[in-house]
Structure 1
Amino acid sequence: MRQDTALLAPDGGARDVQNASASLPNPGLHHVAGGLLNALLRETAIGTREGAVLRLALGGGSWLAIPVVHDSSAGRHAFAAEWRFVTAQAAPQPISVPDGLACLLREGAFGDLATPDHREKLLTRALDAGAAIDASITARGAEVSDALTRPPEFLAAEQGLLLGHPVHPAPKSRDAFHGEDQTYAPELGGSFPLIWLSVAPEALVIGEAAPGFGVRALTAMAHAEAVSAEPGRVLLPMHPWQWARLRETPEVAAQIDRGAIRVLDANGAPWWPTASVRSLWAPHAPFMLKVSLSIQVTNSVRVLRQDEVDRGIQVQRILDSPIGEALRAQSPQFRFLGEPVYAMLRAADGQALPDSLVVLRENPINRPDAPVAMLAALCQDHPTGGDAWIVELIGRVSRARGLPWAEAAGLWFDRFLDVAIAPVLLAASDFGLLFGAHQQNLLIGLADDLPATAMFRDCQGTAYVVEFEAAIAEHIPDIGTSGCSGFSSETAAKLISYYIFLNAVFLTIAAIARSGQITEAALFELWRGFLEDLAAGPRRDHRLFALGLAAPDLTTKGNFLIALSGLDEAGAAIDPITLYHDFPNPLVA
C-alpha cells in the first residue's frame, strides 16, 4: 500500500540514521536503495508495514523484510541495510542490498507496470548509480567533508552534490562520461575549457529576448575569454563533449568542409560543470551556459528542445516587462535568473541542429567562494558520515546567538521560507507564473549563516496559469501562442505542490529533522503558519494555499515508475500531470 498507510508513524530515530551508511562497504548503493524505496512507496501499493519492518511483496508468495529506522511524514524514511528474504515455508534469510534490489526489481509485484527488459534496465541503472556514488565518495569524500566544516561556498556546493536526488531510484546514473570524459562530471570536481567556433551567419540560428542582443551577448562572452571575432562571423561557445560528437555528424562535417564553421584557438580559461551536469559556470563570464548533451541523467535525456529554449526567451521578456518589475518590488531579496539568448548550428540545407543548442543564462556569481549555495547541497546527507551542511549551519546559528538548537532551527527555517519560498509562491498566486523551484534550482544566499537572498535558475521548469493569460498578454502579447506551457489553476497548484512543497520545503524539513534535535512535526507547524500568513494577504488565486493547508493529498512526481517504464520525461509527448501521484498532506493527515 502507498506511503499513507505503509509508513504512517511518528517521527523517530533520526539521530540513528546520521551515520547509517558511512560505515558500510558500499554507502552509495545504500543511498540509492533508500531513494528507490522512498520513491516506490510514494507511487505503488507494494509495501505494507509490520511494526518497524517494511514488507515488500515479491512473486511466489515471498517478500523482502527491511527494517525502518526513521519514519518521515516528509517522505524521506530511512532503512537499515539488514534486509531479509522471507517465504512462508522457511525462516527469514539475510540478503545483501544488491541482491535484494535484484529480487525487488525482477520479482516485485508491480503487475504489468513494466516489461522484464525495463525491470532489468532499471536494476542496471540503480547498481551503476551506487557504483558512481561510491567512486565519487572515494575520489572526493574527504574534500567535500572538509568543505562541510566551513560556511557554504558556491562552487563547493555545486560540485559537492555526491549523492544526488534522495527520492529517486537511480540518482547519479548516466549513460556516458566514462574514462577521460569523467572530467565533465561535477561530482568529480572537473573543469575544462570551452570549444569556440567561428560561424558564418547563415550557419547559425539565434533566439533573443531583444533585437540584436544575441550577437552582442555572444561577443561579450568571447571577449571575456579573450577570443577575437572574425569580420562578418559570429562566435559560438560549445561544450567539448557536445562538440566531439557534433563534428562527426554529416551535417556539421559538411559545414566545416565548406568553411561555414571553424574551430578557433582559445586561451583555455576553465569552466566548471555545475550540479546539473549540462550547465557550466566560470567566474569571468557574464553568462552561464546550458548546453545540449545527449546523455540520460535521472528521468531525461539532456538534449535541449526548441520549446524549452523558447520558454527561456519568454521568461526573459516577462522579467524585462512591468511584471518583472513588480516581482522584484514584491521580493527584492529574490532573483529569477533569465535566459535571454540561445544559439544553435544550422545545416547547409537550412535545418536547425538542436543537439548543438547553447543557452546563455545570467551569471551574477563572480567568484567560486561566493556565499551562495544550492539548496540540494545544503540538505544532502553527509557523504562520509556526520551532519548535513544545513545542520552544521543551524549549529553555528545556535552557538552565535546563544539559542537552543531547536529554536535556531526554527529561525533558519522561517528565514528560508520568507526569503526563498514566498517569492515563488507569490509569483504563482499573484502573477500566474510557475517556476519549478525544486532544491537543485534554488540558490540560497547566506549572511551570518542564515538565508538572506535567493535565486531561481533554469527556465525549463517554467509555465504560466491560463487564468492569468489575459493579464500577462498585456505585456507579452504572444504568450498564448509562444509554446510557453500553460496550465489551469488547479493543475498549477498540483505541480507547485510537488516542486515547491514536497521537493523544496519537505526535503528541507526532512534534512533538518534527521539531526534528531527537532521533529518534523514542529517544522510542519511553522510551514502551516507560513502558508496561513500568505493566504491571508490580497492573493489573486488562493488555490495553491487551499491545497497546501486543507487538501488530504498533495502531488508527487512518479520518479520510480518513470524510471521503471524507461520513459524520457522531458521528451515524452504526454500530459505531464499523468506522471504524478497522490501524497498524503502532513498538515491534514
Structure 2
Amino acid sequence: MNPTPAPEVPEAHGRPAAPHEQGAPGGPLAYETATVPRQLGGGLDDAPGPAAPDHLDDPDPCTAADGAACENLLRCWVRENGLTAPDGDMLRVPLDASGTALHVPVRYWSAAGWHRFGPPVLQGSPHGSGTVDAVTVAALLGREADRSEGADLVGRVADSVRHTARFIAERRRSPAPPEHADLFLAAEQSLLLGHPLHPAPKSREGLSESEVRRYSPELHGAFPLHWMAVDRSVLAADSAWTEQGRPLAAERLTSRLAADLAVPAGCAALPLHPWQARDLVHRPAVARLLDAGLLHDLGAHGEPWHPTSSVRTVHRPGAPVMLKLSLAVRITNSRRENLRKELHRGVEVHRLLRTGLGDRWHAAHPGFDIVRDPAWLGVDAPDTGPVAGLDVVLRHNPFAHGDDAVCVAALTSPRPWPGRPGMYSRLADVVDRLAARSGRPRTAVSAEWFLRYLDKVVLPVLWLDATAGIALEAHQQNTLVLLDPEGWPAGGRYRDNQGYYFRESHREALERSLPGIGTRSDTFVADAVTDERFAYYLGINNVLGLIGAFGSQHLADERVLLAALRRFLAAHAGLGSPLPAQLLDADVLRSKANLLTRLRGLDELVGPVDTQSVYVGLANPLRA
C-alpha cells in the first residue's frame, strides 16, 4: 500500500500553534485563544463559537479529573443508549427515573464516539438545578438503568476520580519521565486518563494511598519483586522459550532474575507482585502449602521493576523478560489474576507461530508481530490442583533495545501537563512535529499518518484472521505502534494472552498445524461470536477510536478519515477476513458497553466468552 494524503480541510481554531509556526521546531507551544469550533459530525469547517475553557486545563487537578470522568460517563451513556447528535449546542439526557434531565454543553460531537462535553447541569429537580459532579452523574445514570450495582458504580467512579486527580497533580509537577526510563516504559507510564469510554478507568479497589504511589505506572511506581520458593513436587510450568535454538525451562529464567537469592534445595524461584504476596498468605490454600513446607516465603529481593499501563505487567529497562503477574485488584472490570487457560494459550500461540505461520506472516508484513508469552510458572496443590493467584507469565521483551513502541491508548490519551492544552496528546505532538518538519498542514499529515497506520498495524491483523482464522483482541491498550525516528508508523505489536479467538471454522487446519491446540487453552470460539468481538476490538475500539482521537483533538476531519477507512476496507475485502465486509456493509455494529457491564457487576475474565460483557447495537459510522 502506498499511502497518499486524504483531501485537506481547513485548520481548526483553538489548537496550539505547531512548533514551526514559532520558528523553532519542538519549541514551546503557543495557544490560539480567540475561538473554539463548535463541531457536529466531525468537521473542522463549522462556524466557530465563543471560546470556552476546557476542564482539562483547570488549575485544580480535582476539577480536571472530575470533568474527565463526567465526559467518560456521558460518552458511555450516549453510545449505550443510541443518543444522536443534538440540533444545537446542548445535549439533553432524560432521567425519567429521577424526574429530571441533564443538559450537557457539547464542545465536539464525534462520528466515532469521542465526544467532548462541558459540565452537565441538572434541571427539573424539585431541589433546584445546577452543575453536577461525576459521582452524582454516576448515581443518576445507575438509577436510570435500574441496576442493583449502581452503588458499586458510584464508589468505583469516586475511586477513579480521586486517583486521576492525584495523577494529574503529580505529572503537572513532574511531566518528564524518570532518567532510568526507556522509550517503552515512558510511553507505558503516560496514560493518565485511561479508556475514554469506560466509567471508571482508573479505579483500583484494594490499594491504599501509599500503595497507589508505589504500584501505579502514572506515578512512576517502582518496587522489587516478592519471591517465593516452590517445591518442585507442586511446581506447575511450561516453556517454549529458546535461546540460540536451545529450549530454556521457565524456572531457569526466573533463577536468572533471582540471582543471589538463597533458594532452598529442590525448589524453584517464583516472582510475585508484592501486593499479591501480602494478600496470598491469608488464603487457606496458600497457608496450607506454607505450613507443609511446599512454599517458602523469601521476601522482597532484587532491583526495582516498573509497572506498565496494565499495572500488573512489569518491565525493567534492558531486561530480556517482562513479567505478567497476578494481581487481585479490580482494574476496569476485572480482578487481574492470571488464569491457567491463559498461560496455556500464550505458550500455544508461540508454538503455533513457530510451525511456519510466523515466517509466512513476517514475509507478508515484516513490521508486525505478537509479543510472545512463551513460558509460565504456577503451583498445583497435591489434592486440589491449580492454586489461584500464584501464576506468572514470562513474556519476551522485544523493546529492550530502545524501540519507540507506544500503545495506541497512550498515544491518543490527553496529557493535561503544564504549557499544553488539555487535549494535547502524544499523537498531537507527533502530528505537529511532522507538520513543522514538512511545512504541510496538520490535516494532511494526520491523513497520511492514519493511512500508514492502517497499512502497518491493521492490515497484518486482518492477514492473520484471513490466513489462519485467528482474530486478535486488538484494542488500543493491547496494540502497540512502532514509530520511526520522525514519528511515522513503522510497524506494530500485539500483546495479551487473554485475547485470542481461534475460529471454529478453522479448527481442523489449526489442529493439523499444532495437534491438541485449544484443548487446555479454551480458545476456539464460534465464528459469529468471533465476528462480533473482532469488529468491536479492532474496528470500533481501535480504528474508530483513533479516528475519534484525531477529530476530537482537532487534528483531522473525521469524515475524511472515515472515507479513507472505507477505501482501505474495500481494497482488502478479498483478503479472506470477514471483517472488511462486515464493517462496510452492516448498518448496525455490536459494541461493548462498559457502563452496562459495570452496572451488571460482570467480571470479564469469568464465564463463557460470549457472556462476559454486555454488547449493544451501534449505528455504523461507516454507513452514515
Is the structural similarity TM-score above 0.5? yes
- Equivalent residue for 2:259, pick from 209, 226, 238: 226
Which residue does 2:389 correspond to in 1? 355
* Mapped contact 1:214–1:341 kept (Cα < 8 A): no
Q: Deviation string for 1:472-508 (max 9, x for gaps)?
A: 1111122253333223333322211111111111111
**Identity of counterpart residues, as a percentage?**
31
Tell whether 2:403 aligns with 1:373: no
Q: Which residue of 1 aligns with 2:415?
A: 382
Whole-Å separation in 1 of the counterparts to 2:438 and 2:366: 26
1:253-292 matches, within 5 Å, as 253-264=287-298, 268-292=302-326
Cα distance change, pair 40–98 in 1 and its aligned pair in 2 (3 A): closer
2:204 is the counterpart of 1:174: yes
Alignment of 1:79-94 (within 5 A): 79-86=117-124, 93-94=129-130
The counterpart of 1:124, out of the listed 155, 160, 169, is 155
| Partner in structure 2 of residue 501 of structure 1 | 539
Residues 1:283 and 1:574: Cα distance change in structure 2 (over 3 Å) = closer
2:377 corresponds to 1:339: no
Of 561, 565, 569, the residue aligned with 1:531 is 569
Instruction: Name the counterpart of 1:162.
Output: 192
Residue 169 of structure 2 is aligned to residue 138 of structure 1 = yes
The aligned residue for residue 461 of structure 2 is 424
Are residue 411 (structure 1) and residue 411 (structure 2) matched? no
Q: 1:265 to 1:249 in 2, by over 3 A?
A: closer
After superposition, residues 21-32 of structure 1 pair within 5 angstroms as 21-23=56-58, 25=60, 26-32=63-69
1:540 to 564, 576, 579: 576
Q: Show the counterpart of 2:332.
A: 298
**C-alpha contact 1:207 1:341 (8 A) present in aligned 2:** yes
Q: State the AA in 1 paired with 2:65.
A: G
Give 1:550 shift.
1.7
Equivalent residue, structure 2, for 1:74: 112
Cα contact 1:333–1:452 (8 A) shared by 2: yes
Counterpart of 1:3 in structure 2 is none
Aligned partner of 1:308 in structure 2 is: 342
Shift, 1:325, TM fit: 2.0
1:356 shift after superposition: 0.7
> Structure 1 unaligned runs (5+)?
1-6
TM-score by length of 1: 0.89
Judge conservation of contact 2:431–2:442 (CA < 8 Å) in 1: yes
CA distance in 1, matches of 2:52, 2:411: 17
For residue 594 of structure 2, the aligned residue among 541, 559, 564 is: 559
Tell me how far 1:241 sits from its aligned partner: 1.2
Which residue identity is paired with 1:419? Answer: K
Q: Write the letter of the residue equivalent to 1:42.
A: R
Within the alignment, does 1:582 sit opposite 2:612 as a pair? no
Number of residue pairs the alignment of both structures matches? 569
CA displacement at 1:181 relative to structure 2: 1.7
Work out which of the residue numbers 554, 560, 566 in structure 2 matches 1:516: 554
- Change in Cα spacing, 1:247 to 1:438, as seen in structure 2 (3 Å) is same
- For the pair 1:450 / 2:483, whether they are aligned, the reply is no
For 2:609 and 2:374, locate their aligned partners in 1 and report how far apart those are by CA, in whole Å: 28
User: What is the correspondence of 1:37-52 to structure 2 with a 5 Å cutoff?
Assistant: 37-44=74-81, 49=86, 51-52=88-89
Bigger helix share: 1
Aligned-residue offset at 1:210: 7.3
How much has 1:300 moved relative to structure 2? 1.0
1:4 counterpart residue number: none
Normalising by structure 2, report the TM-score: 0.85
SS of structure 1 residue aligned to 2:529: helix
Where do 1:93-104 residues align within 5 Å? Answer: 93-98=129-134, 100-101=136-137, 104=140
- In 2, the alpha carbon distance for the partners of 1:9 and 1:533 equals 25
Aligned residue among 323, 328, 342 for 2:357: 323
Deviation at 1:570, TM superposition (A): 1.3
Distance 1:194 1:9 in 2: 49
SS at match of 1:199: strand
- Give CA-to-partner distance per residue, 1:67-121, whole Å, 9 cap, x none: 111000111111101523235x89x73222246415523542x2x4x12xx1121
1:46 Cα offset (Å): 7.2
C-alpha distance 464-99 of structure 1, shift in aligned 2 (>3 A): closer
Q: How does 1:203-222 map to 2 (within 5 A)?
A: 203-209=234-240, 216-222=249-255
CA RMSD of aligned residues (A): 2.9
* Structure 1 residue 449 displacement after superposition: 1.0
When residues 422 and 254 of structure 1 are mapped into structure 2, their CA distance, relative to the original with a 3 A threshold, is same
Report if aligned partners of 1:64, 1:100 keep a CA contact under 8 Å in 2. Answer: no
Counterpart residue type for residue 51 of structure 1: G
